[in-house]
Amino acid sequence: MIAMIAARAALVQEAFWLEYLTLAWMVVEAVVAISSGIAARSITLLAFGIDSLIELASAIVLIWRLTVELRRGESFAEDAERKASRIGGGLLFALAAYVVVAAAWSLWSRQGQEFSWPGLVVSVVAMPMMRVLSRRKLRLADALGSRALRTDAVESIACGWLSFVVVIGLLTQLAFGAWWVDAVTSLALVVLLVKEAREAWEREEDYN
């Protein structure tokens, strides 16, 4: 029994370290993507950066939730997780709506982005980073039976796909210099953002 408790405590400690690593990376990702997006007038990079902020908030909630669970049990943390899931979903829907409006305006006014090397670098690094984090989180979620950690792992997977779309858009813009590339690739992000938002709301409904 003692060995089982110690083993679970070790898994929880590993989950904490993964979330701290997620926090550190999301801060870097958000700062670079948002600042690069503003400088380059890139809808795609701005959306990527704002999504990073939402995932940053999710990681903070999960750290708090794990702490409460260790101290007081799982049931005390479920209410906060439920509310955070719905708020996160609502923010993602709002972000998707912003991207659609901004992309439509860009196409209508025929104004595109400037290429951003910092944006490309942070997006390229994000792909393997999110792959490693999501796989480790999924393994720990299964071992701990943690729905919250699995949710966070899915968000890391979504972030990896978002970074992939950003990289494709930036490389296409670099290769061809087409003004409309940013607007078109940002619309591809909408599909991923809406999917992630719907999953957040469905997870919240599953709690009820």
Which CATH number belongs to the domain containing residue 57 in this structure? 1.20.1510
What is d(CA 177, CA 160) in angstroms, rounded to the nearest whole number?
A: 25
What is d(CA 34, CA 120) in angstroms, rounded to the nearest whole number?
A: 12
Three-class secondary structure of residue 44 per DSSP: helix
Q: Which helix H or strand E contains 74, and what residues bound it?
A: none
Mark out the alpha helices in 73-146 (DSSP H runs). Answer: 75-109, 117-144
DSSP 157-195: HHHHHHHHHHHHHHHHHHHH--TTHHHHHHHHHHHHHHH
Total domain count for the chain? 1
Three-class secondary structure of residue 120 per DSSP: helix
In angstroms, the Cα distances linking 13 to 16, 19, 195 are 5, 10, 30
Whole-number pLDDT of residue 74 = 54
pLDDT in tens, the chain (208 residues): 666 667 777 888 888 899 899 999 999 999 999 999 999 888 889 989 998 998 888 888 888 877 776 676 555 556 666 766 677 778 788 888 888 888 888 888 776 678 899 999 999 999 999 999 999 999 998 888 777 788 788 888 888 988 998 898 889 888 887 778 888 888 888 888 888 788 777 765 555 5
Structure tokens, 65: 């939730």
* Identity of residue 178: A
Instruction: Supply the pTM of this predicted model.
Output: 0.82
Give the structural domain span for 72. 2-207
Whole-number pLDDT of residue 148 = 74
CA-nearest of 36, 11, 1, 15 to 153 is 15
Whole-number pLDDT of residue 44 = 87
